[in-house]
Amino acid sequence: MEAVNYLLKFAFDALLMILIVRFWLQWVKADFYNPFSQFIVKASNPLVVPLRRIIPGFGGLDLATLTVAYIIATLKFFTLAVLVGDSLGFLAFYIGLLVLIKQAGFLLFVIMIIQALMSWVVQGYNPTMMIFQQLTEPFLRPIRAILPNLGGLDLSMIVAFLAMNVINILLSSSLPFWAAL
């Protein structure tokens, strides 16, 4: 049963990450001709395009992708709860929203870690590095505006990591079974 749980979590998380990145790419107006962006769009098109006919975008936000991501997050929690014998009813819709927020925060954390590692290794232009910079800039720019200039040393990622951990702790304390998600 643990193996089935693990595989289901992996499948739901991978799909959620692709959908969150697609929404995020459109939100930051990233380069959609980038190979990374093309992969994300082509991988998520089968789920998003049919719903786009029903749910239009609003204010430059892809609401169809966000809706599909919310449905997948809710299905993740509902499926895993059913497997262990829990029935939560309407609480699953609220927890689906929390799962989506947690997954987006985890994805931001992973992208910032990869971006930091790539900054030490990659020399010159790298298309993936450019997309990661476009994705993280809206979160790091306000922090950079507050922090003093330390002569080339950018501590904005460390401050962002601390803030994200505080948010994760606050979310985790709101639900006793949060760690199981």
> Per-residue DSSP letters for 82-93?
HHTT---TTHHH
Under 8 Å between Cβ of 24 and 132? no
Angle between helices 2-27 and 35-52 (to 10 degrees): 100
Pair 99, 77: CB distance under 8 Å: yes
Give the three-class secondary structure for 150.
coil
pTM of the model: 0.85
pLDDT at 175: 60
Per-residue pLDDT at 15: 94
Distance CA 47, CA 159 (A): 35
Rounded-to-10 torsion of CA 63, 69, 74, 75: 130
Please tell me the predicted confidence (pLDDT) of residue 98: 84
Beta-ladder partners of 58: 61
Amino acid in position 32: F
Q: Which residues of the chain register pLDDT less than 70?
A: 87-90, 174-181
Q: What angle do CA 114, 63, 94 make, to 5 degrees?
A: 80
pLDDT score, position 179: 42
Please state, in angstroms and rounded to a whole number, the distance separating the CA atoms of residues 55 and 40: 20
| Rounded Cα distance, 69 and 93, in Å | 12
- Joined together, the tokens standing for residue 65 give 């992708």
